Structures are given as structure tokens and as C-alpha cells.
Amino acid sequence: MSNNNEQKDPDQRPRFIQVVHSVLAAIFGVQSGANRERDFQKGKAGDYIGVYVVVVVAIVIGMFIVVNMVLSAAQGG
């Protein structure tokens, strides 16, 4: 399937899943030029900032949990 089918109306704002996809792609540095252009032209900054904050908090909490599990296993308890 082509990305041309993602949005039928060219003036439509990006959907929530597209915002999440764009934020994750930007975090890992693999955002495509077409998606970046769509985000800047049709997206609202608040949507992207909100999703970014939630994703970063989730990553930090996940790392905290993993580090605690590894330290607990290394100490034998």
C-alpha cells in the first residue's frame, strides 16, 4: 500500500497514529522528508509536543524499571 492513501483530504490534519509515528521516527532520526513536510504544514505543534512528552516519560520509566531489575538480579535478590 502507498502512503498516498493515508489521507484522502490533503488539507486534513494528521491523525493521532500519524503523529505518534512521526514522533517515534523523529526520536530515532529516521523521519522521511514527506512526513516531516506534512507535519510542519498541517500538524499542530501542541499535538506533537504532547505525544513527545508522553513517549519520553515512558522511555525513562521503562529504563528505570529495566535498570532496577538488572541491579536486583546482579545482587542475587
Q: What is the pLDDT of residues 21-60, one digit of tens each?
A: 999 999 999 999 999 999 999 999 999 999 999 999 999 9
CA 77/CA 11 separation, integer angstroms: 57
At 54-70, the pLDDT tens digits run 999 999 999 999 999 99
* Residue 17: CB atoms within 10 Å: 9
**pTM for this model (two decimals):** 0.75
Give the separation between CA 43 and CA 48, rounded to whole angstroms.
Answer: 8
65 CB neighbour count, 10 Å cutoff: 10
Please report, for the chain, the start and end positions of each structural domain, with discontinuous segments joined by +.
Answer: 10-74
